[in-house]
A and B are shown apart, each in its own frame.
Chain A
């Protein structure tokens, strides 16, 4: 298609712009614009269905009986389904894995958020020797190949006597998550102009007071967003837990153990999907509620210095 052709097509589809009496521009929608938007919207809905399908399929399968799942014709709606797969899956081993996951995640998120918050203030509010190296280092640390490091991490935790220990796993999680959390928070801190604090200081507040009363409240959404990010990282982490936690499993390990256990027999897909649903659904709900703030934080970190 030539440039002229493209331009004409775009002008037609985007409609013309008219100027109203008060001088503001009002887009004049034309029939072709509506049609284009319509077609694109339908395309978007088709993509949405394809994208959501695996999640739907997991929930659907989790409510079907083993006999139904064994059929060669898939059942697309859980009509006549039950929650018996869930009942079979909620065993004491689930609750002990849940307790480990909750413990590790809460500890890691609290420590990570504190350290990251302080560090993000340092790099966006102070100029100090080593600042650039610190920023570059936290960026580089995210690139360390984890599968190369866990041999060393295993040896280290063994020498501390912290294998299969919530504290040991938390140390590794904080180290893994803190760089990205600093990265996100710095975008938020940079988004609050230092002039606001300076104005407060001119009005007689000390530097700390100005920070606590003016900047901190404005940073609360950023803290929530990066806290959620850290939460998801720790909650879903699999590889390090696999190496460190030999007999004190987290939820992802519990789920894998489930698949492995079934792998020796014929896989009971109803149970496996129920277990997956239990691990995934609370995270999904939580995430859908808070994601808007997370994304804006990620972009702020990238766009703002």
Chain B
């Protein structure tokens, strides 16, 4: 581990001088100066809003506060109790967690399979596949969403056209994003998977290049099966990479906002088509109920921490060594 290699100050140095050596003291303070800039900007850009959010989650914003600038009243846990009794909120939460788990899981599986595929094909095919993945990875979210809405367009979208070429299938005029919430979220999931698989595939592929070819070869000579080789040689190397990309994808997919908003721009806007991100936005910003919106986002924060708890705990252990 390279984290523990902080240079130890030469032991002989403090032996003679009785007081603390100024250079040693300066060195002790150095890391704090180094992190100062990052800490300050994080306190301002993230810390303050989080504190505001927590405080606001215990407040009630009524008409008086919105119009007359009257300070909001503290209402204790009223906002939390209200969202706990809000059936729509729970439906949205359930949907979000399901959406997040399915999307992140499929992304990881497809990404790792593509990375394994890359190790087994001709260099030219690998290069072509990598370029294709890069195109998707580099696509700005807004541009990607705009294109997909055009691809799924009911009248002139190329997807309906191509599907209708299959004998016996007629998808002309089929409305992908406005028919049922299930279909809407399948489309959203496809778009998000398209955009996030490249990151997973490249990370996993970079991880795979660290697997020793000699060890693989030797184990093969010793009669290890492909499954055994993957489980005992490839997977241990890949595990930390999969852990971090799975965690990041879970987090990104739980708080997905732009994609759902832009899809709603082109389709239905009812709460049946909301995930936590858009529901909080509708409640807190569009609905001006800052207190309820804040309480919901604190809930999402807790949910995120719960999702990533195992990873964070192992990280704390690892760093504490």
B203-233 with Cβ < 8 A to chain A? 203, 205-207, 210, 217, 220-221, 223, 225-227
Residues of A within 8 A of B166 (CB): none
Given contacts A51-B135, A57-B158, A260-B265, contact A147 B141 (CB under 8 A): no
A119 contacts chain B at the CB level, 8 A cutoff: yes
Distance in angstroms between the alpha carbons of A40 and B126 in the assembled complex:
10
Q: Nearest 9 pairs between A and B by C-beta?
A: A148-B297, A175-B45, A152-B49, A287-B138, A122-B34, A41-B125, A48-B132, A115-B37, A126-B31
- Chain A facing B: main interface SS: helix
0/1 string, A232-267, CB within 8 A of B gives 1: 100110110001000000001001100110010000
Q: How many A-B residue pairs have CB under 8 A?
A: 353
B188 contacts chain A at the CB level, 8 A cutoff: no
Contact between B301 and A280 (Cβ–Cβ < 8 Å)? no
Q: Could you jot down 13 A-B contacts, CB within 8 Å? A: A45-B125, A51-B133, A115-B38, A118-B37, A127-B6, A145-B301, A174-B41, A174-B45, A175-B42, A176-B45, A236-B140, A255-B143, A305-B319
Contact between A236 and B142 (Cβ–Cβ < 8 Å)? yes
0/1 string, B114-133, CB within 8 A of A gives 1: 10011011101110110111
Residues of B within 8 A of A138 (CB): 38, 42
Binds A, one of B13-21, B77-85, B149-157, B179-187: B149-157
Contact between A280 and B143 (Cβ–Cβ < 8 Å)? yes
0/1 string, B145-178, CB within 8 A of A gives 1: 0111011010110100100000000001000000
Contact between A288 and B131 (Cβ–Cβ < 8 Å)? yes
Residues of A within 8 A of B245 (CB): 302
Residues of B within 8 A of A79 (CB): none
A300 to chain B, nearest CB (A): 9
Contact between A295 and B206 (Cβ–Cβ < 8 Å)? yes
Q: Most chain-B Cβ atoms within 10 A of its Cβ — which of A138, A149, A151?
A: A151
Residues of A within 8 A of B45 (CB): 153, 171-172, 174-176
Contact of A152 among B5, B53, B156, B161 (CB under 8 A): B53
Residues of A within 8 A of B44 (CB): 171, 175
B91 contacts chain A at the CB level, 8 A cutoff: no
Contact between B146 and A276 (Cβ–Cβ < 8 Å)? yes
Residues of A within 8 A of B131 (CB): 48, 52, 288
Q: Most chain-B Cβ atoms within 10 A of its Cβ — which of A115, A140, A141, A296?
A: A115
Residues of B within 8 A of A144 (CB): 46, 50, 301, 304
A17 contacts chain B at the CB level, 8 A cutoff: yes
Count of chain B residues near A, Cβ 8 A: 118
Contact between B151 and A54 (Cβ–Cβ < 8 Å)? yes
Residues of A within 8 A of B32 (CB): 122, 128
Distance in angstroms between the alpha carbons of A240 and B123 in the assembled complex:
41
Distance in angstroms between the alpha carbons of A72 and B161 in the assembled complex:
8
Contact between A6 and B226 (Cβ–Cβ < 8 Å)? yes
Contact between A190 and B41 (Cβ–Cβ < 8 Å)? no
Other A-B pairs beyond A111-B37, A138-B38, 5, CB < 8 Å:
A128-B31, A147-B255, A147-B277, A149-B46, A190-B3
A224 contacts chain B at the CB level, 8 A cutoff: no
Given contacts A190-B3, A305-B2, contact A149 B142 (CB under 8 A): no
Q: Most chain-A Cβ atoms within 10 A of its Cβ — which of B39, B140, B226, B301?
A: B140
* A interface list, Cβ under 8 A from B: 3, 6-7, 10-11, 14, 17, 25, 36-38, 40-45, 47-49, 51-52, 54-55, 57-58, 61, 69-74, 111, 114-116, 118-119, 121-128, 131-132, 134-156, 171-172, 174-176, 178-179, 182, 190-191, 193-195, 197-198, 201, 207, 232, 235-236, 238-239, 243, 252, 255-256, 259-260, 263, 269, 272-273, 276-277, 279-280, 283-284, 286-288, 291, 295-296, 298-299, 301-305
Contact between B316 and A238 (Cβ–Cβ < 8 Å)? no
Contact between A156 and B38 (Cβ–Cβ < 8 Å)? no
0/1 string, B64-93, CB within 8 A of A gives 1: 000000000000000000000000000000
Distance in angstroms between the alpha carbons of A182 and B31 in the assembled complex:
14
B63 contacts chain A at the CB level, 8 A cutoff: no
B241 contacts chain A at the CB level, 8 A cutoff: yes
Contact between A304 and B118 (Cβ–Cβ < 8 Å)? no
B230 to chain A, nearest CB (A): 11
Distance in angstroms between the alpha carbons of A235 and B143 in the assembled complex:
12
Residues of A within 8 A of B254 (CB): 145
Contact between B126 and A44 (Cβ–Cβ < 8 Å)? yes
Given contacts A57-B158, A149-B46, A149-B297, contact A284 B138 (CB under 8 A): yes
Distance in angstroms between the alpha carbons of A276 and B259 in the assembled complex:
15
Given contacts A55-B139, A115-B41, A152-B48, contact A121 B34 (CB under 8 A): yes
Distance in angstroms between the alpha carbons of A125 and B146 in the assembled complex:
45
Contact of B129 among A44, A131, A141 (CB under 8 A): A44
Contact between B202 and A295 (Cβ–Cβ < 8 Å)? yes
Residues of A within 8 A of B135 (CB): 51-52, 55, 284, 288
